[in-house]
Amino acid sequence: MKWSQTFIPTLREVPSDAVIASHRLMFRSGMIRKLANGLFAYLPLGLRSFRKLERIIREEMDATGSQEIKPPVLVPGEIWKESGRWEAMGDELLRVKNRLGGDFVVSPTAEEAFTAILRDELSSYRQLPLSLYQINTKYRDEIRPRYGVMRGREFIMKDAYSYHTDDESLDKTYQDMGRAYRRVFARCGLAVIPVRADSGAMGGSGSEEFMVESEIGDNTLILCRGSEGQPGCDYAANVEKAGCKADPPRPVEEAKAAAASTPAIEAIDTPSVKTIEELCRFLQTDAKSFIKTLIYKALNVEADLSNAPGGANLDRKPVPEAFFAVAIRGDLDVNELKLAAALKASEVMLAADTDVLRLTGAPVGFAGPVGLTGLPVLADWTVTAMNNAVTGALTKDLHYKHVAYGRDFGAWLVADVRTVKTGDRCPVCGGELYEKKGNELGHIFKLGYKYTRTMNLSYLDENGKSQIPTMGSYGIGLDRTLASVIEAHHDEAGIVWPITVAPWQVIIVPVKYNGLVKETAGRIAAALEEAGVEVLLDDRDERPGVKFNDADLIGIPYRLVVGEKNLAGDTPKVELKRRVEKESRLAPVDTVAGELAAMVRRDLAEYR
């Protein structure tokens, strides 16, 4: 391919809204252009790399036995109503009507579409397990798209969905997909961190995210550093799911016995003091001495509330809305995803100030578990070990001290709802945990029966009995993955592509495109193409410095410079340079094509 025959509009200036390397370089190299906020067009250079990423993903998906299909991007709103996500997805879901007034969705994910397709085709257990995938356009109406294609409104994803007769079969495919994902990212030159993750709005019993470290990452990762000269273990989790080593919750009877030596509860005046920080200063103590009590509203609660205060009238499942008091040690924060999981709720949120006053009789800052009636108390594990604590007294400007769990109050439910932080101990090896930022590139889920049950997908088992299949979901964001490759592989001059996703493998730069130089460059390009090497020949009438800068900017792995000076003499030579290296060397014209072809094959093999 000659440069003059393709469209590569490189830029010298950086767009004002481009704040990360991939965004800047994708614009400057002519890979993408912006049509609107969060909407981008891939130009020829970018699309070549994008297609290579697609090919890698297809090869690895096909190797798992998954089969590709092509559903529409616009899908009936009715199937989203069946699954319950028509409302649950909120404003990110782009809903449209056709001319007949029918509801449709511009698909942000495809669980509903795949399940609806399979519902009309699945009849027998002999058809399972079955895994299908797509590489297709998605749309989510992001409130704040940013960082170029890293977080756009329209994007391309690979979605795979698997259907199974039992959990053992699901787990096998889940593990196969996890291994395939590791191969995909390794072939792209990315070092990913697989982490335990929360399933979120996707639902299901388990999930794993594949992260890359990033300063602008949307996710906080919790990793094990180890301790006392010992390396950390491989524990890694999203902060939303992370656990830490802690004493197990103490039974109430044991807590009562431990509280026997604690002084009796005592009320203390705390005028205009309501935050933990203010209490620490006022009482000259630290936050670990406090029990922080927060009032939460939970939606669509599936937890058994029959034994909860007021639970006699909460036997409907799910309970559309319920309030809870959450007690946790004062130096810790509530992890709302863990809380939602403990309550089996679709969503949890802090109660409004007016609801706090109505439910506790006190303004925000003075809630406490002692004497709280009509409201279920959920206690974090840490609270069960507290014998001599300070907490709100359900009255403005009043707190209790010498509060002991088991003696002065109990809990309707005890659960781990704390947010893990740097310095906590690893739940696996006891080493020290630390945080780093990361971007999610892929996510695999064990969805279970969430979609198959609500959408009435069934099959007949070997006894002719109707059964519901269990389901898995496996996604990779292609745009984000391609941007992450650039984030990981660039320097001050431009992109440094891994050869597997480079738009071309070799760029030939004639110093002046005429005479012997032109003839030699064309002959080498033809020989390389015949050997199966992808070549870009820069035939432009530009100064050598412009050509060299552009070659570095677009990041082609190998560069050949053809000039009159090196062609003179008994053994004509060209200048050969790898993009990842600073120094170049001279190679004979007659053998350089064969040498380069072997180098390209070797590099490709290293990524297998």
Buried b (16+ CB within 10 A) or exposed e, 531-559: eebbbbbbbbeeeeeebbbbbbbbbbbbb
- Whether residue 493 is predicted with pLDDT greater than 70 in this model: the reply is yes
Q: Does any domain span residue 574?
A: yes
What mean pLDDT do residues 277-293 have? Answer: 88
**Alpha carbon distance 213, 349 (integer Å):** 29
Q: Does any domain span residue 545?
A: yes
- CATH code for the domain of 397: 3.90.960.10
What mean pLDDT do residues 418-447 have? Answer: 91
Of all residues in the chain, what percent carry a pLDDT higher than 90?
72
What mean pLDDT do residues 460-480 have? Answer: 96
Residues 449 and 552 both lie in one domain: no
User: How does pLDDT run across 150-173, given as a tens digit for each residue?
Assistant: 989 999 999 999 999 999 999 999
Within 287-371, residue ranges assigned H as helices are: 336-343, 353-360
Residues 234 and 315 both lie in one domain: no
Q: 17-31, 224-238, 282-296, 513-527: which has the minimum mean pLDDT? A: 224-238
Residues 234 and 305 both lie in one domain: no
pLDDT category of residue 489 using cuts at 50, 70 and 90: very high
Q: Does any domain span residue 294?
A: yes
Q: Does any domain span residue 96?
A: no
CA 255 to chain centre: 40
Identity at 424, one-letter amino acid code: D
CB hemisphere CA count around 559 (13 angstroms): 28
User: How does pLDDT run across 103-140, given as a tens digit for each residue?
Assistant: 999 999 999 999 999 999 999 999 999 999 999 999 99
Residues 554 and 589 both lie in one domain: yes
Residues whose CB is less than 8 angstroms from the CB of residue 598 and which lie 6 or more positions away in sequence, other chains included? none
Tokens for 453, please give them: 């049950």
Q: Does any domain span residue 78?
A: no
Last-in-domain residue among 370, 386, 415: 415
Q: 34-38, 94-98, 305-309: which has the minimum mean pLDDT? A: 305-309
Strand order in the sheet with 319-329: 347-350, 291-301, 319-329, 377-380, 413-415
Residues 231 and 256 both lie in one domain: no
pTM of the prediction? 0.82
- Whether residue 483 is predicted with pLDDT greater than 80 in this model: the reply is yes
- The reported pLDDT for the residue numbered 202 is 41
Neighbours of 364 (CB within 10 A): 19
- Is the separation of the CB atoms in 83 and 204 below 8 Å? no
Last-in-domain residue among 415, 446, 465: 415
- The reported pLDDT for the residue numbered 495 is 97
CA 406 to chain centre: 40
Residues 511 and 440 both lie in one domain: no
- The reported pLDDT for the residue numbered 253 is 81
**Better-predicted residue by pLDDT, 5 or 88:** 5
- Whether residue 314 is predicted with pLDDT greater than 70 in this model: the reply is no
Residues 138 and 206 both lie in one domain: yes
- CATH code for the domain of 550: 3.40.50.800
Measured distance between the N- and C-terminal CA atoms of the chain, rounded to whole angstroms? 26
Domain that includes residue 390, residue range: 252-415
- The reported pLDDT for the residue numbered 312 is 43
- The reported pLDDT for the residue numbered 146 is 87
378: β partners: 326, 413
Q: What are phi and psi of 380, to 5 degrees?
A: -65, 155
- Is the separation of the CB atoms in 158 and 135 below 8 Å? yes
- Whether residue 563 is predicted with pLDDT greater than 60 in this model: the reply is yes
- Is the separation of the CB atoms in 280 and 286 below 8 Å? yes
Residues 441 and 504 both lie in one domain: no
Residues 156 and 266 both lie in one domain: no
Q: Does any domain span residue 206?
A: yes
Identity at 477, one-letter amino acid code: G
What mean pLDDT do residues 581-600 have? Answer: 95
pLDDT category of residue 442 using cuts at 50, 70 and 90: very high
Q: Does any domain span residue 83?
A: no
Q: How many domains does the chain have?
A: 3
User: How does pLDDT run across 326-358, given as a tens digit for each residue?
Assistant: 999 999 999 998 899 899 888 899 999 999 999
Residues 213 and 259 both lie in one domain: no
Residues 411 and 296 both lie in one domain: yes
User: How does pLDDT run across 178-205, given as a tens digit for each residue?
Assistant: 999 999 999 999 999 988 765 444 444 5
- CATH code for the domain of 478: 3.30.930.10
Last-in-domain residue among 415, 443, 458: 415
**Alpha carbon distance 149, 224 (integer Å):** 31
What mean pLDDT do residues 35-58 have? Answer: 97
Residues 136 and 206 both lie in one domain: yes
Q: In whole numbers, what is the pLDDT of the chain averaged over residues? A: 91
**Alpha carbon distance 110, 479 (integer Å):** 17
Q: Does any domain span residue 7?
A: no
Tokens for 65, please give them: 């036995």
- Residue 585 exposed, middle or buried by CB count within 10 Å (0-12, 13-18, 19+): exposed
3-state secondary structure of 423: coil
For 76, 96, 379, 423, the CA distances from 99, given in Å and listed in that order, are 14, 10, 53, 58
Question: Which among 63-72, 143-152, 214-223 has the top mean pLDDT?
Answer: 63-72
- The reported pLDDT for the residue numbered 198 is 56
Buried b (16+ CB within 10 A) or exposed e, 129-161: bbbbbbbbebbbbbeebbbbbbbbbbbbbbbbb
